Structure 1
């Protein structure tokens, strides 16, 4: 993508206002907390302290809006306390440039590294630096600076108290994450009706897993509807794929395929009903037609073998989901038995090994309540963040380069703003710190949105000040209204949010006694200076994702190889359905998949040419790896029961898959075409043994086919990708 097109795309993204679900009650609660802090500060200490403390309450409320699974009161307290400390330290050195610049560089550098611990912490740290640059100009003595810091902490306390006293959808984010996962699987079931090998995006399941990690206090108060459903949803996905895929399921056309389409449609309706119940905390409204589809006696007469077993297992899992979602009792006749009529009992394990190793068809026990994943408390979070930062403190890390950029830009912006004859030079570094992000597209789009929003917001605020001439209390009221609008519209896009922020700051400083003529003109110019510095810094010292695409692709391939090897190895040593090593490998493969998706999305907007991996080759390679993951998922759905006859050849295949994918990942990193000779040799040896098998051997053949597709996709990039001359196909 050229620079002109990249700037066009990022500009359009920054100026876009999206239609999002608004949350007026949460916005009203944040504005109420801000109003309480301003009123207390005005009555006790005066306008200057009120302006400083308002920044603390304002920032604490923004922290509670971040996409985080941590309790909201903790976020508000952490935001208020960290801003108070930053402001006090900034004031102690603010009058001495030789001391303040090193502090500013250190603080912004640490704020840049904080992105390693997650976007929520990164946003809070960056905002603290930006607010510090403004608030250190308000107090005049050390005692007043300490009072400002204390009032900022008080602002965080007020916002935390309001979150506790007036909870609005207290578990709303967790409910939405679980409901989105179930809705994604419902959509997947419907798409499988028309495309038997449809792809599935694992991100909703990963978000639901992240939401399931709870602090000890959260674990004690978690609603019953959030227990267990995620684990059942994880088990539904491979069963859906195995029911629809013609490789191990029914033919592409015919009465069996029609029956499977009916079951998939009913599955989508039942999962949607469970998702709605969990999202709104209401009883499940079970669709009678969907239940009737599963209880129809036609299923047992039409389906047989693996498809019938998959349908039976699917009905049992759906019953567990509906019971967990709430409002449906196990004895409820509506869903007491979603097992398709006419199902045969589960036969004994077949011999020879691997002939029909499918899921059990007998009624499973009710799904156990999932033990919540542990999330560190706020006091135990610091060591976790330090470890995350240490992992990113390496050459070439995007987070480390971001920390270097933001520290240099903050110091340069402060010096430029101080040298210009406008006064209030802190606007330039503040604007730069607020817009800078570790990736290109967000930095540039936010810079454009901040300048456009500042221009509109300052113009509106200036017009109001000139017409109304508000005093201290009316300016405070205007500031609270602007903050409420910002809380309400912050998810609709950066343009609307930055417009409200600009108006809020102008009214707040006006409440502190500063005339609009002292802040408005220079703020527009210095905001432009800060935005230009941020954009130039990324252009001169970038952290492009495009050159790292090969590394992400190799990591994804290696993770899928470990996942495939873990699944295949269990056919050689059957251990039942509980396989922690398979689960761990699956999670690592999902992490690598999401990392690839994010990197590929960022690379598409970057103004750089590919280096050894074109867009077409990247898309084809990702398509091949999607198929590899699907094949592994199908085999996981048919893991043998404990005590089944082992398949000795599967052990050699597992080793071959592990070694070949590791070597293939290294070849991709080194811009060579990966080869799959060990896998081919393992399959040839398997065929020589003459082991009759309908599941494992078919899956192994699909492995090799998809691996060859990956090599073909990368073969389009010669040069600089090259084949090894010793292994030509």
Structure 2
């Protein structure tokens, strides 16, 4: 993609306003917390302290809107307390020496950039703290005042946390939605299998449901019973649906058995949809009578035999379990197990340190982002102080808020920030000039703008930025600053900060396009390990560990999502594909998805522990693992992989006499998918 087209696409994406599900009650609660701290601050401490407490409550509320499964009060407290510490230390250093503050700003910004290694929530909160610190360090005039400002900033976070505890809005709502979305995705998958027996399935809803099901010890004691168990059942249902619909492993492509399978898939979709609705709204499960009648007799009329009959009976049993689990108050919450427990914040510290240390290497996109944002922020601070506008902190603040580890987000946010700032400042300026609000009315207008931002922030960054810009104008107006002392400066310096951010990425990029082959190779290797784990169950039913299959499947999903995210980021980059065109990438992804599906069909029919070892399974497991590891190396080195080991095993005459029809059919699917991958990479 050319630079001109990339700039047009990212600018269009930044200015885009989307329809999104709004949460007005949550927005009202966040705005109420802001109003409380501003009102108390104005009444008891004055406009300066009120502005500090407002920043604390404002950023704490924003933290609670991030896509994190941690308890919202914890996010609010973490945001408020870390901002308070940043403000106090920043004032102690900055009040004495500008160069010392610049050095502190560099250290703080670099640390915030590296925290993206711990996830987007940590990165966003840390970046926001650096941006707000640039403003709040200018408010106090002495060390005792700085301590007081830090205290009221922390108090703002505490107030938001208390409001969440005292006035919960749709408790466990995000977890309910994640689980319901996973069940609804499987319902849609069951219906699509009726039309296309080889339909694909995106595992992202299941992965999101798993993240939502990972809870703290305290949450595990309070979680509704219907939110525990249904996700695991949904994971087990998916391969059963695929194996039932497959024309080779399951029912024939035509005839009475196929019609019966179609009825079962339709009934499964109805049951899963009913369970999703019940879990989402916390209400009793209501299932259509026809669906129940179909599932009560999956083998009606002896239309199904062998593997399809086993799959039909297993599907009926699993759906019964889903219905029992989805019923509100169905039973006591089970122990989530150590693997599904989220560490506490103190226990999280060493894990974050480990993740950050892992990114301290050449070529790390997180490290490049940290270096880039540090250089741009420090340059923006120096330029802002040198320009005759005043309020020079707005340039680095704009830079640190728009910069992200990838190209598209950084450039689109820079455009959206300037556009939103222009709109927000213009509207707020018009109101100030016409109404000339006093201290308390300015505070009220600031709260209204913040509430509007909380309600609309998921519709687009440009909308949120327009509301934030108006919020800052009114908030500074509480202290008696005239509009013409802040507005022109803010617009000009926001443009400077955005331009610096875009220039920083252009001069020191971290392109995703050159790493696409590595992502594809990681996915191939992960699918190979998954295949080996499943085939080992056939080779040694009594001795193989079942947990190995689950771990390998999760690793495969992680690799697939990493590939999809990398491909999405690479699409908007002005970089040549370097040996992996878009057509080749799409073909390779389809082939690996087909390979994963073939292994999933095998997983659906894993023999029980009393079953005798299946001949040839061990040899096939070793061949698939060896070929996929060698194939992953070939992909990284821009070579077309060969699959000699798998071909050799399947060429053995003994395979045609294989008593396990499922294994024989799935093995052919595996080889076909591997050959399709080679064909795609030749393109």
Q: Partner of 1:274 in structure 2?
A: 275
Q: Structure 2: how far apart are the matches of 1:370 and 1:265?
A: 32
TM-score normalised by structure 2 residue count: 0.97
- The answer to whether the 8 Å contact 1:625/1:710 transfers is yes
Q: Structure 2: how far apart are the matches of 1:609 and 1:381?
A: 39
For 1:131-157, what per-residue CA distance to the aligned partner results, in whole angstroms no more than 9, with x for missing partners?
001111111111111100000110111
Q: 1:556 aligns with which of 523, 526, 532?
A: 523
Q: Partner of 1:593 in structure 2?
A: 560
For 1:286-342, what per-residue CA distance to the aligned partner results, in whole angstroms no more than 9, with x for missing partners?
121211222357734322221121111111111111111115979xxxxxxxxxxxx
In the alignment, structure 2 segments of 5+ residues that lack a partner are none
Q: Partner of 1:546 in structure 2?
A: 513
Q: Partner of 1:73 in structure 2?
A: 73
TM superposition shift of 1:688: 6.8
1:250 has 2:256 as partner: no
Q: Structure 2: how far apart are the matches of 1:57 and 1:618?
A: 45
For 1:390-429, what per-residue CA distance to the aligned partner results, in whole angstroms no more than 9, with x for missing partners?
1222111111111011000000111111111101111110
Q: Structure 2: how far apart are the matches of 1:367 and 1:153?
A: 35
Q: Structure 2: how far apart are the matches of 1:430 and 1:328?
A: 49
Q: Partner of 1:355 in structure 2?
A: none
For 1:221-275, what per-residue CA distance to the aligned partner results, in whole angstroms no more than 9, with x for missing partners?
1111111111101000000000001120112222221221111111111101111
- The answer to whether the 8 Å contact 1:435/1:446 transfers is yes
- The answer to whether the 8 Å contact 1:413/1:530 transfers is yes
For the residue of structure 2 that corresponds to 1:695, the secondary structure is: helix
Q: Partner of 2:39 in structure 1?
A: 39
Higher helix share: 2
- The answer to whether the 8 Å contact 1:322/1:328 transfers is no
In the alignment, structure 1 segments of 5+ residues that lack a partner are 331-365, 717-729
- The answer to whether the 8 Å contact 1:172/1:279 transfers is yes
TM superposition shift of 1:576: 8.7
TM superposition shift of 1:690: 4.4
Q: Structure 1: how far apart are the matches of 2:301 and 2:483?
A: 78
Q: Partner of 2:232 in structure 1?
A: 231
TM superposition shift of 1:42: 1.4
Q: Partner of 1:180 in structure 2?
A: 181
Change over 3 Å in CA distance of 1:232–1:368 after alignment to 2: farther
1:379 has 2:346 as partner: yes
Q: Partner of 1:195 in structure 2?
A: 196
Q: Structure 2: how far apart are the matches of 1:205 and 1:367?
A: 20
Q: Structure 1: how far apart are the matches of 2:655 and 2:195?
A: 38
Q: Structure 2: how far apart are the matches of 1:320 and 1:149?
A: 53
TM-score normalised by structure 1 residue count: 0.91
Q: Structure 2: how far apart are the matches of 1:93 and 1:295?
A: 73
| Pairing of 1:472-621 with structure 2 (within 5 A) | 472-575=439-542, 579-621=546-588
Q: Structure 2: how far apart are the matches of 1:656 and 1:368?
A: 40
- The answer to whether the 8 Å contact 1:577/1:640 transfers is no
- The answer to whether the 8 Å contact 1:63/1:75 transfers is yes
For 1:6-58, what per-residue CA distance to the aligned partner results, in whole angstroms no more than 9, with x for missing partners?
11211111111111111111001001111111111112210011011100000
Q: 517-526 vs 571-580, which deviates more?
A: 571-580
Q: Structure 2: how far apart are the matches of 1:633 and 1:298?
A: 23
Q: Partner of 1:123 in structure 2?
A: 124
Q: Structure 2: how far apart are the matches of 1:693 and 1:182?
A: 31
- The answer to whether the 8 Å contact 2:61/2:76 transfers is yes
Q: 369-378 vs 91-100, which deviates more?
A: 369-378
Change over 3 Å in CA distance of 1:685–1:573 after alignment to 2: same
For 1:423-455, what per-residue CA distance to the aligned partner results, in whole angstroms no more than 9, with x for missing partners?
111111000100011111111111111111000
Q: Partner of 2:605 in structure 1?
A: 638
1:154 has 2:155 as partner: yes
Q: Structure 2: how far apart are the matches of 1:249 and 1:49?
A: 70
TM superposition shift of 1:645: 1.2
For the residue of structure 2 that corresponds to 1:671, the secondary structure is: coil
Instruction: Give aligned pairs, total.
Output: 681
TM superposition shift of 1:712: 0.9
- The answer to whether the 8 Å contact 2:516/2:567 transfers is yes
TM superposition shift of 1:218: 0.6
For the residue of structure 2 that corresponds to 1:380, the secondary structure is: helix
TM superposition shift of 1:657: 0.9
- How well do the aligned residues superpose, as a CA RMSD in angstroms? 1.7
Q: Partner of 1:338 in structure 2?
A: none
For 1:501-535, what per-residue CA distance to the aligned partner results, in whole angstroms no more than 9, with x for missing partners?
00001111111222211110011011011111111
Change over 3 Å in CA distance of 1:688–1:291 after alignment to 2: closer
Change over 3 Å in CA distance of 1:27–1:686 after alignment to 2: farther
For the residue of structure 2 that corresponds to 1:542, the secondary structure is: coil
Q: Partner of 2:292 in structure 1?
A: 291
Q: Partner of 2:671 in structure 1?
A: 704
Q: 95-104 vs 676-685, which deviates more?
A: 676-685
Change over 3 Å in CA distance of 1:327–1:88 after alignment to 2: closer
- The answer to whether the 8 Å contact 1:649/1:686 transfers is no
